[in-house]
Structure 1
Amino acid sequence: MSSHRNEQIHNLEDLVQRVSKELSLSGDCKRKAQEQYKSLKSNGVPRLKEKYKELEEVVKMAETYDIAGSKEARVEFESLLQSRTGQEHQQGPKHFAQTLPSGNSAQKQEFSKTFAGPVSTKSADDSHQKRSSSPTRADGTITVSALEYKRLVESEKMNKAKVEELTTRLSSYVSKQLKDGNPNIADLSDKNRPTKLGEKFEQLYDNEWSDAFEILKSTLKDEDKVVQILVDITQKVHEFCCDFAPQQLDRLESYCMVPMQNIKWKVQSNNGDQDLYVHRNSEDKTAFFELSKFMKDCRKSCATASIPALRVMFKDYVYKEHFTNITLATPIEIFIDKCVEIIWLMSVQDPPMDLRYPTPGEKLDTSSFKHYRKKGTVVQQCVWPAVYLHKDGPVVSKGFALPQ
């Protein structure tokens, strides 16, 4: 019955039929309530309230559930009980607006103005039957009963709420569609958006790279060799993150699919709690259609949680394998940690950001790289990679190259 609480009840008969169908009343109570309504409407019958206890029970039940129109039905019920001759029945039951205290004509007039027309004195039955064809006055306005007016107002409020909800959902959907896989539309609320990561990568070169350069130069002396070591570290971090990112995404999707198809149910029984398992592959081929997009968004929002473990893994395995002769001094370790953090955040963008390392002998592209130490047109050595919004995309921050 809760699903009908906002649906207007138009009169006592409508209330009896609705409640009889949908509330858990006994069959005898339903039958008697309907018979008592017909009896109450008939002419020349006793008006003793105790003769209509089942009908009153239905009205009370409607009031308990706060069904729209139950108050008006109560007024009609009481009005019929007060009628001691058949005259009221011939004229129809009083409209609930007419039950205002006698002599309060000003209040009645004010009530009529509120509903943009005179209050109808026709029976509730006539109003219910003719509510779809209300009379039109000479000035073009339509006269409706107060019950009908209240029903229309509530209906309009519900329709407005539905339109507002659908508009919000459509706006959200369009916004997501525009940003989905489109790096050219930036989410300004994201502190790790591509432009910010490009700025952090430049700061990494100015600060941590310089500190690591100085500590290596103090032992190796050869500047070009020191530069190459730092470039190699950066490139290995990039390869490591690019290799790990799709593996992590596959696992996330798998973790989500498993509990959706492997159903585990904890059941309480006389023998104690027990776990029941059932596995079935999805019959709906589109069930996981948008899962990859959802997992990318989820990983991106939680990407910083992976950084501490990625730092340890890189230093314990990749660095020890490829840089066995380079002591992991504190400035170098700080440089590696910062490298892993920024490049990992670049790798989880959708699509992933890209780094480019110019090779010796190629023409120096001044739109992507700045000169290091001297001018020239041909690359001798990469010093710092350039950052791109995505593969073959626009430059986010320029790198450095040592020309011949």
Structure 2
Amino acid sequence: MSSPKQVPTKFNPGLGEGVYDYFIRNYLTHWFEAKTVPPHVYTRAMNELVLLNKKKKSKQADKDRKVTVSKQNIDSEREEVTKLGERPSSASVARRNQSKQEQASGSRNVQLENDQLKSENLALQDQLSKAYMELQDKATRLHRMKEDLKNSLQEVNDLKIRLSKLYGDKLRDNNPDLADQCDANRPTELGKRFLEIYDNEWSDAFENKAKKDEKEKVGILHEVVVDAFYYCNEKFKGQVPQIRGIFLQSKDGQQKVSVSKNAQMIKSLNDLRMQLSTEAARNVAQEYSTSSLASILQRLCINSGDIDPALRKYAFSCAEICWLLLVWNDQLSLSEDKEGVPFDQETYKPFTRRLSDMEQPTVEFVVWPALCQEFGVLVKGVAQPKAGKRKPLDLQR
């Protein structure tokens, strides 16, 4: 469907063109196609235009008929004069004068009708001008109302977004379990990744230590993950005073501030630390696996030259996941791994032995620590069970 033509900027009918006809063709039809004029207004205007044209055609036909009659009379008289070759008779003169009078009378009538039509056209032009101004005014007000409505809707949407964000922040404040479900670093996902390190990097590092027995290799790898957690926790706890000292321009970061400002500062630091947690975790893990790992293994009588790539990758992954866990939930801790205590199935899964064959099993050694939070165990660890009492054989089975 073609777009409607543009409305003329000036109201300028052509010579001999009806004002009403000009207005309908150049204005009202455009408004009707643009759906700014109701159909009944357009239909009524077209009906009035049809009636006006019929009236004009009727008057023009009468005028043409009278002019034709007068012309025929004149031509008839001329023919008679030409035929007789003499001066017209008094009767012909009387007829000619009568014809002239009728012609003059017809001309006066036509002039009166033309004057009347001009007066009617002027009145219609005035009415149409007023209607045009009213329509323009309504269109302007309608456009203004649409803009106000659009701005109001935008303000409402902005307020909804701000309210939703504020409500979400309030819910997640000191409650890491309500983290964004689309975030890969939410605590539940980090817990899965913590256990995946045991399934992947731990297994690779364990297999590469071929010269040591099982319990010794397990002890080395357990020491690394526990030390990585406390290494990250120490750096994590010391980070806030350092950054606060930079902001407050004090050496120890203990300059007195109001309680509300202190809480706001801590929240801002936590938000910033979460945003940069992925990059920071890599940096901490790199530092731990290159500079700190050797000193830890030295205590276990392992030389730095014996650190193979699988063990270094394992140490890197442990430090990286521990940093992310502490950033997103600083209340996390590792289980207190002790040997000889009763085997707690809520805390550990068995390593290579079946609990069904044992009575009152105890922990022989811990393979992988459990990840604990304030209200219980978030991720179970792995330990090797040992029978406290051997289960008697069922001879009747």
The 5-angstrom pairing of residues 170-319 of structure 1 reads 170-216=163-209, 218-220=210-212, 222-258=213-249, 286-319=260-293
| Matched-pair contact (CA < 8 Å) for 2:281–2:321 | no
| CA displacement at 1:392 relative to structure 2 | 3.6
| CA displacement at 1:372 relative to structure 2 | 1.1
Question: CA distance change for structure 1 residues 112 and 299 in 2, over 3 Å: closer, same or farther?
Answer: closer
| Matched-pair contact (CA < 8 Å) for 1:192–1:345 | yes
| CA displacement at 1:393 relative to structure 2 | 3.5
Look up the SS of the partner of 1:348 in the other structure. Answer: helix
Question: CA distance change for structure 1 residues 334 and 160 in 2, over 3 Å: closer, same or farther?
Answer: closer
| CA displacement at 1:387 relative to structure 2 | 2.2
Higher mean C-alpha displacement, 190-199 vs 150-159? 150-159
Which residue of structure 2 aligns with residue 106 of structure 1? 131
Question: CA distance change for structure 1 residues 198 and 289 in 2, over 3 Å: closer, same or farther?
Answer: closer
Look up the SS of the partner of 2:328 in the other structure. Answer: coil
| CA displacement at 1:214 relative to structure 2 | 1.5
Question: Matched residues in 2 for 1:178 and 1:199: separation?
Answer: 23
The 5-angstrom pairing of residues 30-109 of structure 1 reads 103-109=128-134
Return the letter of the residue paired with 1:384. W
| Matched-pair contact (CA < 8 Å) for 2:281–2:320 | yes
Higher mean C-alpha displacement, 324-333 vs 285-294? 285-294
Look up the SS of the partner of 1:299 in the other structure. Answer: helix
Give yes or no for the alignment of 1:338 onto 2:309. no
Give yes or no for the alignment of 1:402 onto 2:393. no
Give yes or no for the alignment of 1:384 onto 2:368. yes
Look up the SS of the partner of 1:174 in the other structure. Answer: helix
| Matched-pair contact (CA < 8 Å) for 2:351–2:385 | yes
| Matched-pair contact (CA < 8 Å) for 1:296–1:350 | no
| CA displacement at 1:183 relative to structure 2 | 2.2
Question: Matched residues in 2 for 1:224 and 1:284: separation?
Answer: 53
Which residue of structure 2 aligns with residue 9 of structure 1? none
- Deviation track 1:50-91 (CA, whole Å, cap 9, x = no partner) reads xxxxxxxxxxxxxxxxxxxxxxxxxxxxxxxxxxxxxxxxxx
Look up the SS of the partner of 2:204 in the other structure. Answer: helix
Look up the SS of the partner of 1:106 in the other structure. Answer: helix
- Structure 2 unmatched runs, 5+: 1-124, 356-360, 387-397
Return the letter of the residue paired with 2:284. L
The 5-angstrom pairing of residues 9-24 of structure 1 reads none
Question: CA distance change for structure 1 residues 288 and 209 in 2, over 3 Å: closer, same or farther?
Answer: same
| CA displacement at 1:343 relative to structure 2 | 1.1
Question: CA distance change for structure 1 residues 183 and 307 in 2, over 3 Å: closer, same or farther?
Answer: closer
| CA displacement at 1:313 relative to structure 2 | 3.3
Question: CA distance change for structure 1 residues 282 and 214 in 2, over 3 Å: closer, same or farther?
Answer: closer
- Deviation track 1:102-142 (CA, whole Å, cap 9, x = no partner) reads 74233245457669xxxxxxxxxxxxxxxxxxxxxxxxxxx
Question: Matched residues in 1 for 2:126 and 2:318: separation?
Answer: 83
- Structure 1 unmatched runs, 5+: 1-99, 116-145, 260-280
- Deviation track 1:14-62 (CA, whole Å, cap 9, x = no partner) reads xxxxxxxxxxxxxxxxxxxxxxxxxxxxxxxxxxxxxxxxxxxxxxxxx
- Deviation track 1:324-351 (CA, whole Å, cap 9, x = no partner) reads 1222111111111111111111111134
Return the letter of the residue paired with 1:219. K
State which of 320, 341, 345 in structure 2 corresponds to 1:362: 341
Q: TM-score, normalised by structure 2?
A: 0.55
Provide the aligned C-alpha RMSD in A: 3.2
Return the letter of the residue paired with 2:367. V
| Matched-pair contact (CA < 8 Å) for 2:177–2:187 | no
Look up the SS of the partner of 1:382 in the other structure. Answer: strand
| CA displacement at 1:378 relative to structure 2 | 1.4
| Matched-pair contact (CA < 8 Å) for 2:177–2:188 | no
Question: CA distance change for structure 1 residues 177 and 112 in 2, over 3 Å: closer, same or farther?
Answer: same
Question: CA distance change for structure 1 residues 152 and 258 in 2, over 3 Å: closer, same or farther?
Answer: farther
| Matched-pair contact (CA < 8 Å) for 2:347–2:377 | no
Question: CA distance change for structure 1 residues 159 and 284 in 2, over 3 Å: closer, same or farther?
Answer: farther
Question: CA distance change for structure 1 residues 151 and 351 in 2, over 3 Å: closer, same or farther?
Answer: same
Look up the SS of the partner of 2:366 in the other structure. Answer: strand
| Matched-pair contact (CA < 8 Å) for 1:183–1:351 | no
Larger relative helix fraction: 2
Question: Matched residues in 1 for 2:168 and 2:197: separation?
Answer: 33
| CA displacement at 1:314 relative to structure 2 | 2.4
Look up the SS of the partner of 1:290 in the other structure. Answer: helix
| Matched-pair contact (CA < 8 Å) for 2:340–2:362 | yes
Question: Matched residues in 1 for 2:146 and 2:312: separation?
Answer: 69
Which residue of structure 2 aligns with residue 321 of structure 1? 295
Question: If you compute each CA radius of gyration, which structure gives the higher value, 1 or 2?
Answer: 2
| CA displacement at 1:292 relative to structure 2 | 0.7
Q: TM-score, normalised by structure 1?
A: 0.54
| Matched-pair contact (CA < 8 Å) for 1:358–1:401 | no
Which residue of structure 1 aligns with residue 354 of structure 2? 375
Question: Matched residues in 1 for 2:162 and 2:270: separation?
Answer: 21
- Deviation track 1:191-227 (CA, whole Å, cap 9, x = no partner) reads 12222222222221112111111222x122x211111
| Matched-pair contact (CA < 8 Å) for 2:187–2:329 | no
| CA displacement at 1:181 relative to structure 2 | 1.2
Look up the SS of the partner of 1:383 in the other structure. Answer: strand
Question: Matched residues in 2 for 1:367 and 1:236: separation?
Answer: 23
